[in-house]
Structure 1
Amino acid sequence: MHEPHDAPAQQPANAPEDAAPDEGPRPLGVGVEPTGHPPVDATLERLADADHLDVAAHLEVYEDVHRGLRDTLTELDRS
């Protein structure tokens, strides 16, 4: 299959029109409200790390947060 070499790069459909494809990671602007439970709040703060990483590295952050929240729930079940 032949692909043209001079075709312009396409941005995702949800990308802002003024965003250049090589700008790098940008914060999503999703805020996290405090829950009042310090272990949960500390775990959720880790989500802010994803704002400074390439999309490929987000999974590690999300898995870490998920693991921390699951551990907190497990501890509550033991109480």
Structure 2
Amino acid sequence: MVHQAMVVEHFRETHDAYALQQASLLLSEVDTDRLDLESEFNDALTRLRADAAKAAKRAEQDRRAQELGLS
């Protein structure tokens, strides 16, 4: 099981540390008894995967356009 503190520690010296620290502070204020955390996590994961797929598709389109001399 991964805990919030473990994630914060893992990213401590990275460029994501500040954003993660801010998110951690916000999460510590959330009343988790009122949330369906698994559903929230799965929804966020679905959105992240969709965004990653869009970014990969866009990168491939850009690469292809460059190959064809269109950019």
Which structure has greater helix proportion?
2
TM score, norm. by length of structure 2:
0.41
Normalising by structure 1, we get a TM-score of 0.37
Bigger Rg over Cα: 1
Of structures 1 and 2, the one with the larger relative CO (CA 8 A, separation 6+) is: 1
